[in-house]
Amino acid sequence: MIPDAATLAALFASGRIIDVILGLVALEAAALVAWRLYGGDRPLLAPLFCNLASGAALMMAIRAALIGSDWTVVALCLIASLMAHLGEVALRMFGGSRSASDPAMPDLGQPGRTVTRRA
């Protein structure tokens, strides 16, 4: 069921659309934790959570702008997003374990080394 235009306009004007999206981000985080605990290729959670936090902070910046918050609130949300993003970059570059579960960052310390999947 697709909401009508008036409902969508109200969702955007009140910023509630961002609340819905942030709820979906929280569900994604819970699904990633479950995947990590109970199976799958077991992705590294710290970089993923930094990525989700960065996106959530961007969503909060959009929400603040939509509801007419002061520019400082938007700026703080953007700074929080930057910090989370830099945390992810640091974890991926200097976080230690690089394996097949983290294909985004190859092992730079050993060029040409093939990474094998864990059992």
Sign of the CA dihedral 84, 77, 30, 10?
negative
User: Among residues 10, 108, 114, which one has the least CA distance to residue 67?
Assistant: 10
pLDDT in tens, the chain (119 residues): 788 899 889 988 899 999 999 999 999 999 988 888 887 666 678 888 999 999 999 999 999 999 999 999 999 999 999 999 999 999 988 875 555 455 554 555 555 555 555 55
**Domain coordinates in residue numbering, the chain:** 11-94
Give the pTM.
0.72
